[in-house]
Chains A and B, each alone.
Chain A
Amino acid sequence: MTKKVTEGGAVSRRRLLTTASAGAVLAASPFRINLLQAEEATIKIGFPVPLTGPYGAEAQDQVRAGQLAVAQFNDAGGLNGRKAELVVRDDKLNPGEAATRTLELVEKEKVNFVVGSLSAAVQLAINNVTKERGIIFNSISQSDAINEAADFSKYTFHEALNPHMTSGAVGRYAFPKFGKKVAFLTADYAYGHEMVRGFLEVGKEFNIENLGDIRHPLGTTDFSILLPRLQALKPDILCISNFGRDQQIVLKQATDFGVKKSIQIIAPLLSHASRVAAGAQAFDGVVGGCSFYWGIEDKFASTKAFNDAFRKMYDGKLPTDYGALGYGGVRTVLEAVKIAGTVETDKVITALEALKYDYYKGPQYYRKCDHQSVQSVLVIKSKSKDMKNESDVFEVLSTEEPSEKNLRSCEALGHKS
């Protein structure tokens, strides 16, 4: 570049002029953006989720339900007329990408809050950014680490279940019923490891025998080479701790291999979107946990109201588990904003900590020490017949009521009480 400029005087002068005028335009535009921000036109919620990749189906539901929460807030008049807006970014299920997108949301989009993510490692990457910038982050994906003192900050909230709660509930249901010999097939990353740890911990109460844990990389498309080994272990229970497309494929292939004939398959987390994408055949008879199922609308008025609002906004479609988390994550923050009467971070944190809420699944609240949402866990089974509609895919077997007893203690997480 420098070489060219010195080569011909006329050209370089003209180039200088164009560069200068382009620079002026560039300088003007952020100035205008700043002006808009000064008016504080909207309350912006950054929403990084993995729209592409193996969890894409779940992420799209998160966005849909997040939009619903925003729409309800705006229809109710917002914060004294100030409207909210969801700024969605695709984090591609990649911690690096998620950190970059979050930084962009905070620095360029000037979002007031961040809600989102799906995957343990990704939410920790986002949390690192928001924690450093002093922005509230309400995570809607499972992680144990995010509650631990090392990763936690006062800006961190966790609306989703965590692996300890989920595996605990499923283990307490499954181990007394199906047998003591357990083999594990685990996605080789934080979520999978935390789930297995949770199962082994609750398994101590039932004296389960761990026959072995086979780990597979995230995004595996063929499990045929792992299944013979697992079958040879002859377990009573095969516990599959993976998620999204990995889960769809492994359950399909396990069915093909005839695994279900002699072995009960359990999965800590059964995703509604995955069940729909993989079909009834693959998931038939599998027992697992979840944070939300639309079918509990007979039990809770809040579920009924949430379902109806979702149906209305999306042509009769029903919300899924991860959709509900998107809704809960955004709604709690916006409700806290309303209660605090401001978007000021510290006041919103105080409001969130005091919140006792029931927006979609019965009573919930954020525990003071780690901001984990204390809530019920559903144990469900996948259906393949007598389905009332296309969303009628699970049967609720039991419900573990919200209780801090099922959480790891504040001391165990490293928080000073």
Chain B
Amino acid sequence: MAGLSFDLIALQLFAGLALGAIYVLFAIGLSLIFGMLTVVNFAHGAFYMVGAYVGLYLISLGGNFWLCLVAVPLLIGLFGMAVERVLIRPLYGRGIDYPLLLTFGLSYVMVECVRIAFGKTGYPFDTPEVLQGAVNIGVGYFPLYRLFVIGATAAVLLALWLFLEKTSFGLIIRAGARDPQIVRVLGVDVSRVWLIVFGIGTAIAGFAGLLAAPLQGVIPEMGGTILAEAFVVTVVGGMGSIGGAVLAGLLVGVVVSMTSLFAPEMAKVSIFALMAIVLIVRPQGFFGRAGLLS
């Protein structure tokens, strides 16, 4: 094969970061929900998929992509809150396995419902016109839309950080994650906090699904693969740590990208090899708190 130029390696690195951005966006919702509610949300991939379908539906009604960027997270967030209120809330305090099994089952139901409503075959999802094409990023051409995805991910992260760190509600959320009992004693309705956190988590999942749709089209099973990879990201980053999810997401993207430069057929395996190595050296992940799962 032809030699490796500096430009190629730089471009490859960048492609890895762009891929990582999608992992990050998916995994922070997962991490947020786990960190605050101790719910391992196996339906996260299904919310992601429904987000893409809702976007598709809104566009077919005459909406545009920019409108969807606002409407989809809002709708999926509301849907997530309904799910939390009706299905997940009765299971709090029964250990980690009840909500895990519930969300696992729920994901099957959601995928099946979408199959019934939209059919089993996928739909194309065109890249919005202004974001089509590739631009020169100095080391080579890179699709404009992927740059947009990186930007959107950064914006979500910033908004989330401001919300959690700078607002009083964010303070309550953080306190609720540490010690719900004390927060309750202080007169805060913790169940309302959890409701909103779950809503935010699913809203981000729906947003991620919408952003992914122009990259690969839309099919009912699209949440499955990314869910497995996102769990690797959350485990490597430390279950429940948002900072860990960001760092690990980008790292996974870069590792996959660099592996594929030298041994493309090993790209998928490299994700799990990375996880194994991290878990041997640091069983709780980068920023994980020990004992959260027990």
Contacts and interface: CB of A to CB of B under 8 A. Distances in A.
Contacts of B143: 224, 253, 256-258
Contact of A224 (B7, B121, B146): B146
B294 to A, nearest CB: 33
B134 A258 contact: yes
Interface string B234-263: 000000000000000000000011001100
B15 interface: yes
Contacts of B102: none
A221 B216 CA distance: 7
Given A216-B265, A217-B265, A229-B261, A248 B122 contact: yes
Contact of A229 (B12, B133, B145): B12
B105 interface: no
A114 to B, nearest CB: 23
A231 to B, nearest CB: 8
B8 A228 contact: yes
Nearest to A275: B124
B124 A257 contact: no
A100 B274 CA distance: 34
Contacts of A232: 2, 5, 7-8, 140
B140 A228 contact: yes
B120 A56 contact: yes
A233 interface: yes
Given A228-B12, A282-B124, A219 B225 contact: yes
Interface in B100-143: 120-124, 126-127, 132-134, 140-143
Give the interface size class of chain B: 35 or more
B77 interface: no
B99 interface: no
Interface stretch (A35-43, A128-136, A207-215, A288-296): A207-215
Contacts of A217: 265, 267-268
B23 to A, nearest CB: 10
Contacts of A56: 120-121
B264 A215 contact: yes
Contacts, number: 119
B121 A214 contact: no
Contacts of B19: 222, 224-225
Contact of A248 (B18, B142, B217): B217
B215 interface: yes
A256 B146 CA distance: 9
Nearest to A212: B1
Interface in B121-176: 121-124, 126-127, 132-134, 140-143, 145-146
A334 interface: no
Given A221-B216, A224-B19, A252-B217, A277 B12 contact: no
Contacts of B11: 228
Interface string B252-288: 0000110011001101100000000000000000000
Interface of B: 1-2, 5, 7-8, 11-12, 15-16, 18-19, 22, 120-124, 126-127, 132-134, 140-143, 145-146, 215-217, 219, 221-222, 225-226, 256-257, 260-261, 264-265, 267-268
